[in-house]
Chain A
Amino acid sequence: MEKLLEIKDLKVYFELKRSLLGKKRIVYAVDNVSFDVYKGETLGIVGESGCGKSTLARSLVGLNDITDGNVVFLGKDNLAKADSKRWHALRQEIQFIFQDPVASLNPRMTVAEIIAEPLNVYYPKMKDEEVLAKVLDMMHLVGLSDNQINRYPQEFSGGQCQRIGIARALVLNPKLIICDESVSALDVSIKAQIINLLKDLQKKLSLTVIFISHDLSVVKHICDRVLVMYLGNIMELATKEVIYKNHHHPYTQALLAAVPSANPKVEKHKHVKPLEGELPSPLHPPQGCVFSTRCPLADDGCKSARPELRYMDDGALVACFKA
């Protein structure tokens, strides 16, 4: 399979204000992460809040500075070294769909203006009729009707606003779409509509999608491969089948066990102890394996050395001494 993105040793660190004693304080948001994204796949990134999944996504569109490492797009462009001019060109290819559908739309612009804006930026000479035709195309594609074209975002519900956001992201024909918790703010019945829409569009336009979510059921429904993150590190990366049925990492196990099932019989017969404690501070990540402070299998070895990602027989990449 052809690689769309090759991410190698990616580090995104944030420096905080110095403490009272003048010590340097660094948040290790994404710490030495390497993986590939293949053309036409939907890659899910899951993990608890603070695991670095959003930081990772934002650094792929230049919304965060990359501290170190390489991100190679289509075999040639290194996003980590791109200047603002290069980013301008790259953003035609890489688009982002945000979590809060209402806040990500300008309240003073009509639907037409919002969807047409990327076209105006990248194709300033495009004729008005052509722009309008494209805007209408996009609106039909995401399930909005013609008569809504001159309305403002506040006249729409959350689900409809997310459709506008999707139309805006797709109007330039990008190769890669990054969805950062794009359905999390929506109600159950609306969420299902948007998930179906994203799935259809992915197929129809053969898009590559990076889908970030804390909701493991949604990720299972929409993704081909899943990357599990914890405290800035990759714990496991495998196909959906492996992650949900034969996962190797104890964190993947704990995460899946914690999701309450909408089936009372399953819930009643579930006797797993919830994972204890909480995510350690990314200011002071544990010495050894980052998950060792909460891992039921951790021993002294796990607490002193950090496991590297290694391949399992089924092709899964796992960072765990016990797997």
Chain B
Amino acid sequence: MPILEVKNLNVSFKTIDGVVQAVNNVSFNVEHGEVLGIVGESGSGKSQSVLAIMGLLASNATVTGSIKFLGQELVGVNTKALNKVRGNKLSIIFQDPMTSLNPYLTIKSQMTEVLMLHKGMSKHDAVIESIRMLDFVGIPEAKERIGLYPHEFSGGMRQRVMIAMALLCRPELLIADEPTTALDVTVQAQILKILRDLQTEFKMSIILITHDMGVVANACDRVNVMYAGQLMESGSLDNIFYEPQHPYTQALLASIPSLEHEVERLATIPGEPPNLLALPDGCVFQGRCHKVHQECKGGDVVVQDFGAGRFMKCNLMQNLTNGINQGITSNVVVN
């Protein structure tokens, strides 16, 4: 059984300008022990879909659909029931560690609170366990430094503290929302290594949200590609990177400058993402797609299931036999 089952998830926000459809009919699973990457540009709904899982959406949000975590439905349950799961079996780390830690409390009191609340540990045991966890994420002199305040740590160290805190109760699922975006590359490499080590050590599942395809290639087993609130394509790491089917995935990969090979001009995706207040009829990518045709401009978009968890939302018909790509080349418009 998958550890997390998301079915037909919709998240919308009522604003003075109208209803913003942030997540649009998204379904996916997270299996035991896997790292699922969710990639997309800003406004693609990647963060809002995990905030919905955590029950952390803004108060003007409406959620429909189903989110089942370890068999338990999370949509529509009260805060008390959610709190039993959150921080315990289900944890999240955010992009900016400074704003997620309480600046008035020491790391010690913020960490021990979690253990005392969820595990009923004594203060003494909780401190020992917290130090152990800080050690694990590579904080030197954890025993002394646990008494410090968040501002006394550097950005990379604060992110380690966040990870340690999220892991205290040995969650089954860790959600990492752009955990390395605010960090330098050398520190990012350290944090990605910690995440990989953790995953092997604790056998937990991770949802890793990022806009950086390099981070995905480094850390993930499976990838969901989101655009304008919709799940455009999903597949294994190799599927997505070596045989992308969706025109958006293809264009996204082609537009990244690479360290390995050189191109004179980067391929670009013309135009900009659609306004979430007024999504077009039909496919949300139609305005920027170089393979767009009449049927993309209205009606439902076909979801093509290629088996083995690989699917895409696109009217363009693909015949995939044994995962071998037939009939498409990744010829992306260069403008």
- Residues on A facing B (Cβ under 8 Å): 48-49, 157, 159-160, 187-193, 195-196, 199, 214, 216-218, 220-221, 244, 254-264, 266-267, 274-276, 278-279
- Whether A264 pairs with B237 at a CB distance below 8 angstroms is yes
Task: State whether the Cβ of B213 lies closer than 8 Å to any Cβ in chain A.
Answer: yes
Report whether A274 and B190 are in contact in the complex, using a CB–CB cutoff of 8 Å.
Answer: yes
**15 A-B contacts (beta carbon < 8 Å):** A48-B184, A48-B185, A48-B186, A49-B184, A160-B272, A191-B255, A193-B269, A199-B265, A220-B259, A220-B262, A259-B259, A260-B189, A262-B216, A262-B217, A279-B184
Pairwise interchain contact A260-B218, C-beta atoms closer than 8 A? yes
Given contacts A217-B257, A217-B258, A220-B257, contact A192 B186 (CB under 8 A): no
Give the nearest-CB partner of A157 in chain B: B272
How far does the Cβ of A219 sit from chain B's closest Cβ, in whole Å? 9
Question: A192 and B267 in contact (CB under 8 A), knowing A187-B41, A217-B258, A275-B186?
Answer: yes
Query: Are A262's CB and B258's CB within 8 A?
Result: yes
Question: A260–B42 Cα gap in the complex (Å)?
Answer: 20
| A278-B156 in contact (CB<8A) | yes
Taking Cβ atoms with an 8 Å cutoff, the residues of B that contact A are 41-42, 154, 156-157, 184-190, 192-193, 211-218, 237-238, 241, 251-253, 255-260, 262-263, 265-270, 272-273, 288
B214 proximity list for chain A (CB < 8 A):
259-262, 267
Interface of A is mostly: helix
Nearest CB in chain B: distance from A121 CB, A: 32
B255 touches A188 (CB 8 A): yes
A52 to chain B, nearest CB (A): 14
In the docked arrangement, what's the CA distance between A99 and B172, Å? 39
B184: A residues at CB distance < 8 A: 48-49, 214, 279
Known: A48-B185, A264-B237. 9 other contacts (CB 8 A): A49-B184, A189-B251, A189-B288, A196-B266, A255-B186, A259-B259, A261-B258, A261-B260, A263-B241
A214 to B265, CA, bound (A): 20
Of B189, B192, B253, which is in contact with the most chain A CB atoms at under 10 Å from its CB? B189
Within 8 Å CB of A196, what residues of B?
A: 265-266, 268
**B223 CB, nearest partner CB in chain A, Å:** 10
Interface centre among A214, A255, A259, A275 (most CB of B within 10 A): A259
CA distance A192 to B270 in the complex (A): 10
Expressed in whole angstroms, the minimum distance between the Cβ of A100 and any Cβ of chain B is 14
Supposing A189-B269, A192-B266, A260-B214 touch, asked if A254 and B259 sit within 8 A by C-beta, the answer is no
Which A residues are CB-close (under 8 A) to B253?
A: 262
B185 touches A259 (CB 8 A): yes
**Are B217 and A187 within 8 A (Cβ)?**
no
Q: Complex formed: what's the CA distance from A254 to B186 in Å?
A: 7
